[in-house]
Structures are given as C-alpha cells and as structure tokens.
Chain A
Amino acid sequence: METILISVLNGLVYGMLLFMLASGLTLIFSMMGVLNFAHASIYMLGAYLAFTVSRFVGFFPALIIAPILCGLIGAAIEIWGLRRVHHNGHIAELLFTFGLVFIIQRLVQMTWGMLPMAYRVPPSLDFPLFVLYGANFPAYRGFMLLVSAAMLLGTWLLLKKTRIGLIIQAALTHPHMVSSLGHNVPRVFTTVFAGGCLLAGLAGVIGGNYQTTEPGMAESMGPIVFVVVVFGGLGSLAGCFIASVVMGMIQTFAVVIDYSVADLLRPMGVMLTGDTLLTEVLTVPVARIGALLPFVMMVTILFFRPRGLMGTRDT
C-alpha cells in the first residue's frame, strides 16, 4: 500500500515534469508540423542556465530569468533557422532541429564541461514536506507540483481566455484559414515556438535539480518526451496531459515491480530451467523492462492508431 501511494506521488511529479516539456512540444508540433528534436536540448539548456543564474541571484529569480532566456533562444532559432529551411519541406526542418541537438549538446559541454553540475535544491525548499509510512516526501517535489500546476493553469487561461490564445487554437487545427483571415501566422509560429521553449526551459529549471544537471540529460529525456507527444496525440493538450501522467506512472511503477513473466508462469506449474535466450527473456523482471516500455508503447500506438490517444489528426 505504501509503495503504491509513494509511487503515485512520484509518478505524478515526474508526469507533471514531462507534461511541462511535452505541452510545448505538442503545441509546436501540431501547429507548425515541426517535430522539434532540440526540445529536450532546450530543457537541458534551461537547467544549465538556471544553475549559472542562480549562483549570482539565487534560485527564485533564476526560476524566471532562465526560462525567458530559453524563450529568446527559441525565438532566435525560429526566426533565423527554421524559417529559412521551411520552404525545403518537413524533412529539412526535422534535419535542422536534429542538427541543433548536436550543436547544443556540444556547446553545453564546451561551456560547462563534461561533469555533472552542483545544481542543488534551494535550502529554503530542502525539507521533508510530510512523512508517509515512514518515508519522507521532499518539499521540493511539492514545489514542482505547484509550479507545474500553475503553469498548466496559466497555459490553459492563455489559450482559452485571450485573443492570442484563440488565434493559436485556431492555427492548431486550421493554419491556412487563420492566415487567410489576415493574421500574421509566421509571427504566431515564432510566439508559439518561443513559448514552447520557455516552457521547456522552465521544466529544465525545476527538473535540473530534481534529476542531475549533466550533458546527458537531453539524451535521456528526449525520446521519452517524443513518446508522450505521439501517445497523447496531435493538437490535444488534454491527451498530452493524460499521456504525461500515464508515462510518469509507468516509469515509477515499473521500477518497483520486481516480477517477471516466469514468476507468473510458476503457479501454473511451468518451471523454467536452463540458460537459453527464451528463459532470459521470460525471467527479466519488470523493473528492468521499464526502460523498454515507452518505446514499445510508441511503436504500438503509431502502428495501430497514428493519431494518438486523443489526437485530432494523424501524426
């Protein structure tokens, strides 16, 4: 029982972090048709920038400054990069963002080095929030939940209640119609791209000290975020939210389940002996398969339902 409760909480924290990343990506993807491979790199950049900024002005100002810097970087990428390759088609755009991954990765290594950064939870948030069956729930995770909930609310209000939000929503489903109505769609694109990068940067700020701030963090996060976006479906923030939380739960629960297929078969009288490939496949515990699950999910959903969980159109 206690494992389940703690895992639910942890899964929720991780899921919300994923949502912060994935929501920006899904907005960019559904609107511009560009799958931004560099999204997780912006997340990493957010964490590194937050580390550097927080050394000078403290964590809470960095919480605001670093995402804004990431947003500006995003705008620059859109204006000087993506827009130039746009007329060469989607593959060129994909290739462009793919190349960015390399460059950002190396730039980060060049600027901050190869070793993990000492980016820590601020002391004012470094205490146990409550104790659950003898296990501490750190206040920082509560803070993460708070930030991501605030961000969710903020994005929702922006999209539903403001004029720019209405235009963005319209451009999500009918980009050509929106431009026919006289809106400056390229500028909307830049705004959305910058906004998405801002959210990724924010996720980096609060995720950087939750996980570790090191040059490999983009590589480990990137594929998972794609899985979430694809799974949630294009043009649907709600689907994206559900997919993020589901993914967070799967990842945390898979770690704590120490059973394998062989354990399931044992009560049925099937005993596995020997050392063959089949026995190995059957005796691997779920905890180790956990890393595989997201990709199995992605391949399956793209195969059977390419529009994802709640998507409005095919990927």
Chain B
Amino acid sequence: MKSRWLILVLIVLAIALPWFFYDWGHHRHAGFLLSMLSQMGMMVILALSYNMLLGQAGLFSLCHATFFGIGGYAAIHLLNAAGTGDLPFPMEVMPLLAGLAGLALAILFGAMATKQRATAFAMITLGIGELMATAALMFHHFFGGEGGVTTNRMIENSLFGLTYSSGLQVYYLILAWTTLAAVLMYYLTLTPLGRMANATRDNFERAQFIGYDPRIVRFLQFALSGFFAGIGGGLYAITYEIVTFDALAAPLSANALLMAYIGGTTVFGGPILGAILITLLQSGVSLLSNSWLVYVGVMFIAMVIFAPTGLAGIVKAHGPIKHAGRMGSLLVPYLRLVIPSLGLLLGFIGLVELMSFLTIGAAQGKKLVLFGGSIDVNATLPWAISLGSFLLGGLWLRFEAAGFHRVWENLSAEVRR
C-alpha cells in the first residue's frame, strides 16, 4: 500500500521537477536538468527491462544494449519516413514501433541464446552483442557507420497537436512512456510467466518437473525484455535525434547491468533507483572528476561482495525491524559507522583523484581542485593524508562493522521471535 504512495509521489515529482528550476526571467527551462531527467527516463526503462533477465529470470545477459540500439535505429528510420509523409504514424506511437523492432530482434536472438542458461547464456549473448556492434560499424545502409543516422523529430504528426520542438514536450513524452512501460513490467511480474521466470531462476529442474519448459519461459522473458529495451531506444532516438553505434555497443550493456545490480535486482523498484543514481553520478560526478567510472566500478564490486541484494535490498532488509518498531536501536550503531566510512571514502577519493591527476589530468593541463582547495599533486602531504585516512578508516570500519553485524543479528533474532 505504502509503495503505491511512493510511486505516486515519484511521478508527481517527475512532472513538477522541471518547473522548480524554471527560469522565469528568460521564460525557459533549465536545459541541463531536462536532458538529465530525459536520460534518466530512458535508463529507467533500460535497467528495468534488464532486470527482467538478471533479477527475475536469473539470466546474465551481455547484449541488452543490442535491443535498445535496434529500437533507436528503427525509430530513426521510422521518423525519417514519417517526416517525408510516407508513414502515417503519429509521434506518440513511435516508441511502441521501436519496441516492436526490439521484440523482433529479441525473438530472433532469443531463439538462439535461451537454449542455454547460466554461463553459456552469458557467453552466447556476449557473442551476439559483439556481433551486432561490429556489424553496426560495417553496414552503412542501416546503421550509418561511425557517424550514425540522424533525423528530425518535428514530423508534425501528433495525437495531441504537439510539435516536440522543446525539450519539455519530449521529456513529458518520455515520462509517459517510462511510466507505462514500468507499470506493464510490474504487472508482468505478477503473471504466470513472471512467476515461472522466478521459478526457473531458483530451481530450473524443479520447474521442469512441474511440467514447464524452462526454455520457453526464458525465451518469452528474453523477447519481452527486448521489447521494453526497444521502447527505451525509441525514446533515445527521439530525444537526441541521432543514433550511433554507441547505442548498441557493449558499454551500454554493461551500464544496464550496473544500474540494475547496484539498485537491487531482488526488488522491482531497485533498478529504478539504480538508474537514477547512476545517471546522477554520470552527469554530476563526471563533470568534476575524470575517474567517475572507478567509483562506479568499486561500488559495483563492493555490492557484489557485501550486498548482493543491492541498495533496494538493503532498504528492504530493514522491513521486519521497522515493523517491530525497533529502528531506534539501530541509530547508534549506524552513527558509529559514519565516521570511519567517511574516512575510508574521502581517503579513497583522495587517492584516486591524486593518482588519476598525475596521468590524465596533467595531460589536460588542469589544476587539481579537491575538497575546495587547490592541491599540489607532487607534494607528499596530500598523498600521506589520503593514504592514512584510507587505511585508518578501513581498519576502523572493519572493527565497527563487526560490532554492527552483532547488533544486527541480535535484533533480527529478537524481531523474528
């Protein structure tokens, strides 16, 4: 019940957010915010559809961007056709058509890939992803080579009479489709297919015994996730009016994985959280630091080792304790974690920034500004402080974490009783 309110708040916030930053003096919207929010919308679709495989069906796919990209290319060509008047489809259904393109390709590749599971599935999807990325650079007719294909989104054919000349209109289109796709994907988890996907993930032999063919379940799940990824790709094409081979290359597939996993694959909303967080990091931290991917990578590895349920999973784990009204007794242990974690974090950031500045930053001729002050990279002091804070924080955190773990275990046992 509560999560419904959360979703409603999220949607209202997404609708209202551009107006908070409206520049009344010049009567225009904050362009950076709008493009970031639009990007978030697409990434939410990508991450959620990826989680249909990783989280719900236990399939580690490495070619998810293929379907996102093909949706993008399809939308570009459809928009071009619509622009010349050859295609009587309004703008609002373009993402749907892009999704169908993704679906078609996912049916084709899914028939091959879903014959396998686990590692072999990962390998076959790796092959498919690389195959498509290489092919995209090779065949200029459809993919446009390295330059990509461009379009003009003002096709003057809209259900609501919109021109889509402004970023705000495009953003609301993205928001509408994102909400629709997310709702559909949520209800899909409640269908027999969604349940069987979970069953084949947990124990595919038992699912076989009951009389289901795990391969069919995997295939349907794969095809549908390709459909949703295609919708995301269509929105990408409409927003940027250009699709290059980046939209279907391996880094985007990896991004989908990172977003879904960091957000949490065990909770439906997890990937939404992950997509928002990673996009924020991408557009925020990447302006400040060259090495934002290090942070994302380390965060990912730390998640794999320490919190395989992701951020949403951590929040969910507090459920029983909160239900018993014992959240208060976790406050002090949490506060005790703060200082050592901060030490570890700041030390790590310091080390990474100093190190990357020595090579990459210096080559760009910038000055290193860290924590508000200009810092000389060649001096010993910043290195020593960072290293000391990193090591001290790490050791201290280890000690505190053990204590926290004890408190947590006791509390969980108490609540269970």
- Chain A residue at smallest Cβ distance from B353: A110
CA distance A81 to B298 in the complex (A): 12
How far apart are the CA atoms of A296 and B124 in the complex, in Å?
Answer: 10
With A35-B123, A110-B355, A315-B116: A102-B297 Cβ-Cβ less than 8 Å? yes
Question: Which candidate, A138-146, A164-172, A298-306, is the interface stretch facing chain B?
Answer: A298-306
B199 to chain A, nearest CB (A): 16
Interchain CA distance A289-B135 in the complex, whole Å: 8
> Interface segment, B12-20, B95-103, B299-307?
B299-307
How far is A261 from B112 in the complex, measured between Cα atoms in Å?
Answer: 25
Does B338 make an interface contact (CB < 8 A)? no
Given A94-B122, A230-B123: A109 in contact with B360 (beta carbons within 8 A):
yes
B307, chain A: closest CB distance, angstroms: 11
Q: What distance in Å separates the Cβ of B358 from its nearest Cβ neighbour in chain A?
A: 8
- Chain A residues with Cβ under 8 A from B22's Cβ? none
Q: Which of B119, B141, B291, B296 is close to A110, meaning CB atoms less than 8 Å apart?
A: B291
Question: Which residues B1-35 have CB closer than 8 A to chain A?
Answer: none
A302 near B257 with CB under 8 A, answer no
Q: How many B residues touch A, CB cutoff 8 Å?
A: 45
The A-contacting residues of B in range 95-129, CB under 8 angstroms, are 112, 115-116, 118-120, 122-124, 126-128
- Asked if B127 and A277 sit within 8 Å, CB to CB, the answer is no
A126 contacts the other chain (Cβ, under 8 Å)?
no
A-side interface size class? 35 or more
Partner of A106, one of B60, B115, B122, B297: B297
Query: Is there a chain B Cβ closer than 8 Å to A132's Cβ?
Result: no
Given the interface pairs A94-B60, A277-B139, the reply to whether A302 lies near B291 with Cβ below 8 Å is: no
Q: How far is the CB of A307 from chain B (nearest CB, A)?
A: 10
Is A149 close to B, CB under 8 A?
A: no
Residues of A within 8 A of B123 (CB): 35, 226, 230, 298, 302, 315
Contact A98 B134 (CB under 8 A): no
B138 within 8 A of A: yes
Q: A102-B300, A112-B359 are in contact. Are A95 and B261 (CB under 8 A)?
A: yes
**Across the two chains, which residue of chain A brings its CB closest to B297?**
A102
- The reply to whether B131 and A109 form a contact with Cβ atoms under 8 Å apart is no
- The answer to whether the Cβ of B352 comes within 8 Å of any Cβ in the partner chain is yes
Closest to A299 in B: B127
- Tell me whether A96 and B360 are in contact (CB under 8 A): no
Q: Are A92 and B293 in contact (CB under 8 A)?
A: no
Q: Residues of B contacting A227 with CB < 8 Å? A: 127
Additional pairs, 8, CB under 8 Å, beyond known A85-B305, A113-B359: A88-B304, A91-B60, A106-B291, A110-B291, A226-B126, A230-B123, A291-B134, A295-B128
Which are the 10 A-B pairs with shortest beta-carbon distances? A102-B297, A113-B359, A298-B127, A295-B131, A315-B120, A99-B301, A110-B356, A106-B294, A103-B297, A299-B127
Show the binding face of B for A, using Cβ within 8 Å.
54, 58, 60, 112, 115-116, 118-120, 122-124, 126-128, 130-131, 134-135, 138-142, 250, 254, 257, 261, 291, 293-294, 296-298, 300-301, 304-305, 308, 352, 355-356, 359-360, 363
Interface residues, chain A, with chain B CB atoms under 8 Å away: 33, 35, 81, 84-85, 88, 90-92, 94-96, 98-100, 102-103, 106-107, 109-115, 219, 223, 226-227, 230, 275-277, 280-281, 284, 288-289, 291-292, 295-296, 298-299, 302-303, 306, 314-315
